[in-house]
Structure 1
Amino acid sequence: MSSLHAWEQAAAAACVPLAVKGVNRPVIEGSISSGSIGQVNLSAVSAGQHVAEHDRRAVGMTEGDYVLACLQLRGTGELTQDSRSAVVGPREFVFFDSTRPFKWILQSQFEQIVVRFPRSLISNRFPIDSALFVARSIPALTGVGRLVADYLITLAGEREQIGSSASASRISETAVDLLGGLVSEVMQCQSMPRSNLHEMHLRQIHHHLATNFHRPELNAETIAAELGISIRYAHRLFDEQPKSLGKTIFEYRLEKAAAWLRDPVFRSRSVEQIACSAGFKSAAHFSRAFRHRFETTPRAFRVER
């Protein structure tokens, strides 16, 4: 058990400076253990429900320019950065950036592995602006995600022995290569960065979706009209994204609904009410889509979680 101040000190050493708030308690039950392998720092974090914020003051206190990756092992958390939020469950990755504010809402007892590395390590290999991939949940149950997750779990467990080995630097670079490859896989990145205008419009669309997804009438056409861009251009912006604009809207609603279903705060709300709040026009349509996406019914999903 740690005081909030002690937890903030441990988090700053292992991750970045954070302002921590407990939920109904002035202490946090948990532990942070970390170690370095080359230029990569790996931390195993286990704790209870709390909120951790890297606000503008904390950004100014951060010594170094880091990209961070979190592999959630148990429990659920929500990371918000750049007006985008990602709900992260077991065996899912999320990236975040030390140079801009972010906020973690850890909703229950959780375990995670946090990897911190200098931005230069990944920017030299993969020329992708971090604003494009932070606060996006990335599954790690199959394919490249599983490969990277298994590698990091092994590294975290053996970090003391590996950290003192002659191969530490090479092993840490392999970890960054794998994380960069995961980002490339998800973003389908090109060899050259996107234009600033292209990037700006993508951010506008994601922000608009995050604040308006609850509206059933929201679709590609209404987003384009409300942002003052053509529908054809709106669709073209997503040509290099993992999913089309329409699919992105649909998936965002499903992910929000799933997060609410497993959040005790929303336990009193019916499945129909959650479906409506997430922007679905009917409970039947929501149930079909949810079953197709998560391979279970909304009610079963709520009980399982």
Structure 2
Amino acid sequence: MLETVLRTEDLPVADRFEAWREYLLKTHVPVEVSSEHASDFRVTDRVLSLGSVAVRSMHAPSVTVRRTPKLIRQSDPEAYQVSLLGQGSIDVVQQLGRTDRRDTHHPYDLVLLDTSRPNESWVKTDEGKGSLTGFSVLVPKALLSVPADSVDRLFARRMPGGEGIIALLFGFIAQLTTDTSSYGPADGPRLGTVVVDLLSAVLAQALEMEDNLTPESHRRTLTLRIDAFIQQNLRDPRLAPEVVAAAHHISVSYLHRLFQERGISVAASIRRRRLQHACADLADPRMATAPIHTIASRWGFTDAAHFSRIFRTEYDMSPREYRTKECPDIA
């Protein structure tokens, strides 16, 4: 995985905005930018190359971004550009032949643009906040399983986020760009495939064309949705394979087949995740006064003795020994 980072704070104040502007003009999707904060422009711009997919995270002040006909002639990867804001808002204009489409997008909404057509975006920070946080994804059109002439209906239109597949895509991108230390060079294309699957699912759902997705894309997207559901419900002691299957409208046997590909059962995966969170709490000095049975209960273990047994089986020590080892000052 190739990662490129530009931090303008590493540069002299007078050079910051111009350096970022020139940097963007040399990318695969060159754009022109302007900002009322150009005199001291502080931006952190990170780009991850995941095979043919690129993921960008950015922390920046308010900025206007223009993709003009001249820049399109200069370079056009024939891709879809997806933007997701963590905070702030985007006013977008996408040119579509003789007409323009305009809309305003808010945090967690998904914004879809076409790199082959002129567009303009006014990215604004929330009132009283100095910078915005956002992500963008560049995916070649040919990789998606949704017909291009159908996708046209979604350009610049507000697709509300905060839940469902868009929230899953947002969470995956946010996690991916937060810490890349655990990924190696060979992981890039695999992660790019996950991004393509999620985006395909988002667009297919918005267009009511889920049948266009390939079986492989369906399966990978379903697996990610299941993982997110399990993570969100770990604290619930009733979480079990039957609950997970019912929430996703699949049979328990099919759920087990999905997890067999990972070499771990559904129940074992739930148990391992709960134990990992319990370990983090036991090692957290801020929770030093919390009884062990309270921590166990917090992560869905209703029987303290059972928790101690499986903890010892997994880590070859008791919860109390683990806590003392990780935080020696705790008696």
TM-score category of the 2 structures, normalised to the smaller one: 0.5 to 0.7
From 165, 176, 181, the counterpart of 1:155: 176
The one-letter code matched in structure 1 to 2:119 is F
Looking at structure 1, the residues matched to 172 and 103 of structure 2 have their Cα atoms a distance apart, in angstroms, of: 23
Q: CA deviation at 1:9?
A: 2.8
Aligned pairs for 1:25-174 within 5 A = 25-82=38-95, 83-108=100-125, 109-122=131-144, 125-129=145-149, 130-159=151-180, 161-162=182-183, 164-174=184-194
Matched-pair contact (CA < 8 Å) for 1:4–1:20: no
Q: 1:41 and 1:24, CA in 2 relative to 1: closer, same or farther beyond 3 A?
A: closer
Q: 1:186 and 1:107, CA in 2 relative to 1: closer, same or farther beyond 3 A?
A: same
Gaps of 5+ in 2: 1-7, 9-14, 126-130, 213-331
Q: 1:116 and 1:138, CA in 2 relative to 1: closer, same or farther beyond 3 A?
A: same
Who is 1:186 aligned against? 206
Q: CA deviation at 1:190?
A: 7.5
Who is 1:210 aligned against? none
The one-letter code matched in structure 2 to 1:136 is R
Q: Secondary structure at the match of 1:139?
A: coil
Looking at structure 1, the residues matched to 25 and 79 of structure 2 have their Cα atoms a distance apart, in angstroms, of: 13
Q: CA deviation at 1:70?
A: 0.8
Q: CA deviation at 1:63?
A: 4.3
Q: Give % identity.
A: 19
Matched-pair contact (CA < 8 Å) for 1:35–1:160: no
Q: Which structure has the larger Rg over C-alpha atoms?
A: 2
Q: Tell me the TM-score normalised to structure 2 length.
A: 0.52
The one-letter code matched in structure 1 to 2:118 is P
Looking at structure 2, the residues matched to 13 and 20 of structure 1 have their Cα atoms a distance apart, in angstroms, of: 13
Matched-pair contact (CA < 8 Å) for 1:39–1:117: yes
Q: Tell me the TM-score normalised to structure 1 length.
A: 0.56
Consecutive aligned runs of 4 or more in structure 1 exceeding 6 Å deviation = none
After superposition, give the CA deviation of every residue in 1:11-54 in whole Å (9 maximum; x if it has no partner): 34566211111226445321211121121111111111221100
Alignment coverage as a number of residue pairs: 189
Aligned pairs for 1:172-211 within 5 A = 172-189=192-209
Aligned pairs for 1:197-236 within 5 A = none
Gaps of 5+ in 1: 193-305
Q: 1:128 and 1:64, CA in 2 relative to 1: closer, same or farther beyond 3 A?
A: closer
